[in-house]
């Protein structure tokens, strides 16, 4: 795959690999090459065990690569310990000192560096104000909520003015509502301070909401890298399509602009350059890209039978069988059919349609 290169990246990984004895093929990370631009909010996204945290640890100096190089602002830091790199890390556990006040927690690293007392007071005050905790400077961590403790950990990392901030699933322990609010706050803080953020998460919505760019990882490799829109709307592999949100993956054979199901209809997808005639493929199309009515000219259309209806407040999902063993999900806003009696129910035959440009033909 092609990795976007920057002339002066904040972080450059050059064929970085990490081998652990005893793992399936010996490698947790396979030869990753990646550039992260200065001031970018970059996310490493993938399922558990895909290598994203190992990659973050190698950037931070907590793990040494078995092969390849790590460069920060053009300097090769491979093999240097964390305290010799101009990076800081925010962990999921926060790692705060419960016996110290918030101000003393934030000031801890500055005191160890011997920063003058007056400068420490000024920087700590500015940072607590940035994370909206200035009024609580004298409080101790056990008296705070999870979201407040997370902001203290962020302030403690940022007060050292690192060139790169590494964040290892820092929002994972928060409840859903708080996590969504913190996503917005974290992105706002990153824009204000202008520091490069490298964020590890397994949550697709989190990565889509916060990232300037993201890399989807699978089995120690980068499956795809790009903007959230690129990765979501134009996945380049079946893994990315299925991992990023919900996607219908329909297996079949590509023939003359159609994906022919093994036991069922031929689904129109339009001509596809680079897809060999007669090759086995997956047709990928998002549930929200499929229409149930008001079809436009040029749309592909096919009949199916509704097998299940799932009501979710603002939306309803219909599971529609196109052929034996082939079911697709269709997501419809309930403003389209606002009354319960207007919605379809199980067993009904329906026509579905999509625009050929909204479906992908993948290996």
Residue 4 lies in a domain: no
CA distance 269 to 275: 12
Residue 296 lies in a domain: yes
- Tell me 80's DSSP state: -
Residue 345 lies in a domain: yes
Contacts of 7 (CB under 8 A, 6+ apart): none
Residue 247 lies in a domain: no
Residue 254 lies in a domain: no
* Together in a domain, 229 and 280: no
Residue 155 lies in a domain: yes
Question: Whole-prediction pTM value?
Answer: 0.86
**CATH number of the domain where residue 356 is located:** 2.40.50.100
* Together in a domain, 170 and 301: no
* Together in a domain, 116 and 160: yes
Residue 124 burial (10 A CB sphere; 0-12, 13-18, 19+): buried
Number of domains in the chain: 2
CA distance 50 to 183: 23
Q: C-alpha distances in angstroms, 276 versus 23, 73, 165?
A: 36, 43, 44
* Together in a domain, 38 and 176: yes
* Together in a domain, 35 and 163: yes
Predicted confidence at residue 2, as pLDDT, reads: 45
CA-nearest of 295, 292, 300 to 332 is 292
* Together in a domain, 48 and 191: yes
Predicted confidence at residue 30, as pLDDT, reads: 92
**CATH number of the domain where residue 172 is located:** 3.40.50.300
* Together in a domain, 44 and 140: yes
* Together in a domain, 22 and 72: yes
Look up the domain containing 270 and give its range: 265-362
CA-nearest of 111, 98, 110, 178 to 139 is 98
* Together in a domain, 222 and 168: yes
Residue 241 lies in a domain: no
* Together in a domain, 308 and 207: no
Predicted confidence at residue 7, as pLDDT, reads: 67
* Together in a domain, 229 and 270: no
Predicted confidence at residue 11, as pLDDT, reads: 96
* Together in a domain, 183 and 283: no
Low-confidence ranges of the chain (pLDDT < 50): 2
């Amino acid at each position: 795959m092609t990795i976007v290169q920057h002339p002066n990246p904040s972080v450059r990984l050059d064929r970085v690999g990490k081998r652990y004895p005893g793992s399936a093929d010996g490698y947790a990370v396979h030869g990753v090459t990646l550039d992260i631009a200065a001031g970018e909010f970059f996310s490493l996204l993938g399922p558990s065990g895909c290598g994203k945290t190992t990659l973050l640890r190698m950037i931070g100096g907590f793990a040494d690569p078995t092969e390849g190089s790590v460069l920060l602002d053009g300097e090769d830091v491979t093999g240097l310990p964390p305290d010799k790199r101009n990076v800081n890390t925010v962990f999921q556990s926060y790692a705060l000192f419960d016996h110290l006040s918030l101000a003393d927690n934030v000031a801890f690293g500055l005191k160890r560096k011997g920063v003058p007392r007056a400068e420490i007071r000024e920087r700590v005050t500015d940072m607590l104000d940035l994370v909206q905790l200035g009024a609580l400077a004298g409080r101790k961590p056990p008296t705070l909520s999870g979201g407040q403790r997370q902001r203290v950990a962020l302030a403690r990392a940022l007060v050292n003015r690192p060139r790169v901030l590494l964040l290892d699933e820092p929002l994972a322990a928060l409840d859903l509502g708080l996590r969504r609010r913190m996503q917005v706050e974290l992105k706002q803080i990153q824009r204000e301070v202008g520091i490069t953020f490298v964020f590890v998460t397994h949550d697709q919505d989190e990565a889509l909401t916060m990232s300037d760019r993201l890399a989807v990882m699978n089995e120690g490799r980068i499956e795809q890298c790009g903007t959230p829109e690129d990765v979501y709307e134009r996945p380049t592999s079946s893994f990315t399509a299925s991992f990023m949100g919900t996607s219908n993956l329909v297996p079949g054979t590509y023939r003359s602009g159609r994906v022919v199901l093994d036991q069922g209809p031929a689904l129109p997808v339009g001509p596809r350059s680079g897809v060999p005639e007669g090759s086995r493929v997956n047709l990928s199309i998002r549930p929200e890209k499929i229409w149930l009515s008001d079809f436009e000219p040029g749309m592909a259309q096919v009949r199916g039978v509704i097998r299940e209806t799932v009501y979710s407040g603002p939306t309803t999902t219909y599971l529609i069988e196109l052929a034996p063993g082939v079911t697709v999900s269709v997501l419809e806003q309930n403003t389209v059919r606002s009354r319960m009696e207007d919605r379809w129910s199980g067993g009904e035959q329906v026509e579905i349609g999509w625009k050929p440009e909204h479906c992908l033909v993948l290996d």
